[in-house]
Amino acid sequence: MSGVCREVLINEMKRLLDIISSIGFSKGKPGLGLKNDRLDISEREAIQKELSLKTSLDENLRIFKLFSGPSPDIIVRELKFGQAKVRTAIIHVDTLADTALIEGLIGTLSVDPFQTPVGEVHKREIFREYKERLLRSSKAKEAETFTDMWQGLINGNTAIIFDGMAKALICETQAHIGRSIEEPATETVIRGAREGFVENAETNIALIRKRLKTPNLWVKKFIIGHLTQTDVSVLYIKGLAGEELISEVYRRINSIEMDAVIESGNIEDMIEDNPFAIFPLVFRTERIDRVVSMLLEGRVCIITDGTPFVMVVPMNFPMLLQAPDDYYEKVPIGSFLRILRFVAFTASIILPGTYVGIITFHHELIPTELLLRLTAAKEGVPFPVVFEVFMMELVFEFLREAGVRLPKAIGSAVTIVGALVLGEAAMRAGLVSAPVVIIVSFTAIASFTVPTFSFGIAARLIRFIFIILGGVLGLFGIQFGLLVMLVLLSGLRSFGYPFLSPIAPLIISDWKDLYFRVWRWADVTRPKLEGGREPIREKRGQEPRPDKQNEGRNETYGNQKDENPRKDK
């Protein structure tokens, strides 16, 4: 027993001594502390942060070995360049860097050797000469610390270290890995662009730039997560987005301190206004056209590397029910579809609860014949209707979740099993009544019309609350629930902007794009964001009129009119 104890004690003391020595000696022999295997990650990072490049190449390479470990994907090549045969190391990370580009880089360095003799005194000159030369072919910048150099390497760049220089040259050699641009799976449209965002943030920014060519599209990059070092870029149109909004976004992103960012959801968690809100307070999308149109409204978008989901702030409630097609389709159809979606969304929240409420409390509200039918269908079902609806909704949620998780091939099988076996059999066995199955299926269909997935999930959750309210207090309970929802939603803000605008606070001028969408020529003003600028989007009076539209044609028509017998007199 005591032997074990002593061992633990000795080990611990050794560890402490190691740490002390690693910190103490790091001044004399830099990076030596990293040899210690007992250092925890934060201790390692503290040492790494202080390491700067040394003059001697050998020492640099030795430190680098300690810095990044014996990982085989980090490739270090030692070469000699120039007349003076200056020893040089070329470092890159395999597959992140493009090999062909590195070959080109080496080529640039080796051909046309300098005329100047190289000695100790002139090493600085070599560095400058090489830098200028490399600038001709690719981006190059200097790094003075190992951490900076690593930043470059990990982004697919190549570092070049010369003997005798305490600096490294970082040259752009990124290879493009990742999937190709595809149509987003979650937001499909009938009419509209098929391109969606990908996982690579730089590609995503380029995709936005391709559609928004103004130089006033500004990008600011942050690096979040001290382990993942994820790029988080903030995009906005300078002069259109409110400066207060931009600085608020900066402030919130800057205040994030965490070790890892896996998906944009991690950032969202840190920057949203109210963590308890069921509805999303940050808009996320995979579609480039939506992001572009929102940037044009003076909003700010946040692109996180590693995920195709781009966040847009501030958001409001109607954005969740607008599909991109609405804007591309003819106005009457687009508006009709949108109203349909509002109705379907409302139904998907309150329909089951209302059914439960009416059946339980308000028989007198149902016309007699319908009531008779419903009662006949319910005959023999051993459960109260609230339980029946609740269970069926729950089963449906299981099915939907299973459908999402399973591989696509099996997913459809689950749906068939769910629909046929569960629904049909439960009804035959007299466990649920047919109207309940109809209500649940109708609700499910209605909930699929919501174009934003995150919003649909929120609706699912609320539906269960409404079922219980309907079962406890009838229609009064539904009213109560709606009021609570209204109050909570009215209190929500997204980056300081009311979530329910333009419904509450009422902004009549923005109703042109709420339930109805007006024609593009009538949509002359941008949505009214407080602090948003440049309210006028286009000049007024561009509506197509039959006479105006035919101006050009009338002339040709007029030329023919002598020969044309069809002209009416």
Partner 1 sequence: MGTRKTKTQEKISNRQLLFIVFIIRATLIIATLPVLTTGHAAQNAWISSIITMIASIVVIIAISALSLKFPKMTIIEYSKVLLGKTGGTIMSLGFLWLFLHIAATDTRIYSEVLADGFLTSTPLVVTAGTIVAVSALAVYLGIEVIGRAADVLMPVIISFFVLSIVASLSLFDLKNLEPVFAGGITPVISGTVTPIGISVQFLSLGLLIPTLTEPEKAVSTSAVAAFLAGLALIVTSVIVVGALGERLSSSAIFPLFKTSRSTVFTRFLERLEAPGIAAWGLGLFIDVSTFLYCGSKGLSEVLGVEDYRPLVIPMAVIWITLSLHTYDDLFELLRLFRPETFFPYVSIVGFIPVLILWGAYIIKASSGKLHGLQKHK
End-to-end CA gap in the chain:
117
Nearer to partner 1, 222 or 480 (CB): 480
* Biggest distance spanned by C-alpha atoms of the chain: 118
96 binds partner 1 (CB under 8 A): no
Task: Determine how β-strand 140-143 pairs with β-strand 493-494.
Answer: unpaired
475 binds partner 1 (CB under 8 A): yes
215 binds partner 1 (CB under 8 A): no
Nearer to partner 1, 86 or 503 (CB): 503
Nearer to partner 1, 149 or 356 (CB): 356
How many whole angstroms separate alpha carbon 490 and alpha carbon 503? 9
527 binds partner 1 (CB under 8 A): no
Choice from 470, 498, 527, 532 touching partner 1 (CB under 8 A): 498
488 binds partner 1 (CB under 8 A): yes
384 binds partner 1 (CB under 8 A): no
Provide the minimum distance between the beta carbon of 1 and partner 1 in the complex, in angstroms, as a whole number.
58
Nearer to partner 1, 288 or 356 (CB): 356
Nearer to partner 1, 329 or 513 (CB): 513
484 binds partner 1 (CB under 8 A): yes
275 binds partner 1 (CB under 8 A): no
How many whole angstroms separate alpha carbon 123 and alpha carbon 275? 57
362 binds partner 1 (CB under 8 A): yes
How many whole angstroms separate alpha carbon 560 and alpha carbon 562? 6
State how far the alpha carbon of 120 is from the alpha carbons of 86, 164, 493, in Å.
10, 7, 63
Nearer to partner 1, 197 or 317 (CB): 317
How many whole angstroms separate alpha carbon 530 and alpha carbon 244? 10
274 binds partner 1 (CB under 8 A): no
Provide the minimum distance between the beta carbon of 460 and partner 1 in the complex, in angstroms, as a whole number.
23
Closest among 370, 344, 357, 356 to 443, alpha carbons compared: 344
Provide the minimum distance between the beta carbon of 474 and partner 1 in the complex, in angstroms, as a whole number.
6
How many whole angstroms separate alpha carbon 28 and alpha carbon 38? 20
Closest among 524, 555, 558 to 539, alpha carbons compared: 524
How many whole angstroms separate alpha carbon 2 and alpha carbon 13? 16
**Exposed (0-12), middle (13-18) or buried (19+): which is 450, by Cβ within 10 Å?**
buried
Nearer to partner 1, 135 or 506 (CB): 506
Task: Determine how β-strand 168-171 pairs with β-strand 140-143.
Answer: antiparallel
Provide the minimum distance between the beta carbon of 484 and partner 1 in the complex, in angstroms, as a whole number.
5
Q: At what angle do helices 288-295 and 201-211 cross, to 10 degrees?
A: 60
Site for partner 1 in 342-361 (CB under 8 A): 361
Tokens linked to 413? 């099988």
How many whole angstroms separate alpha carbon 338 and alpha carbon 228? 41
486 binds partner 1 (CB under 8 A): yes
How many whole angstroms separate alpha carbon 96 and alpha carbon 57? 24
How many whole angstroms separate alpha carbon 233 and alpha carbon 403? 34
Binding mask 445-474 for partner 1 (x = CB under 8 A): ----------------------------xx
480 binds partner 1 (CB under 8 A): yes
276 binds partner 1 (CB under 8 A): no
Nearer to partner 1, 394 or 486 (CB): 486
Provide the minimum distance between the beta carbon of 360 and partner 1 in the complex, in angstroms, as a whole number.
10
Nearer to partner 1, 392 or 492 (CB): 492
Nearer to partner 1, 71 or 368 (CB): 368
367 binds partner 1 (CB under 8 A): yes
Written as one string, the DSSP assignment of 267-317 is HHHHH-S-TT-SS-SSEEESBHHHHHHHHTTT-EEEEETT-SPEEEES--G
Residue type for position 249: V
503 binds partner 1 (CB under 8 A): yes
Q: Which span (58-66, 318-326, 364-372, 556-564) binds partner 1, by CB under 8 A? A: 364-372
Residue type for position 85: K
372 binds partner 1 (CB under 8 A): no
Interface ranges with partner 1 (CB under 8 A): 361-362, 364-365, 367, 369, 473-477, 479-480, 483-484, 486-488, 490-491, 498, 500, 503-506
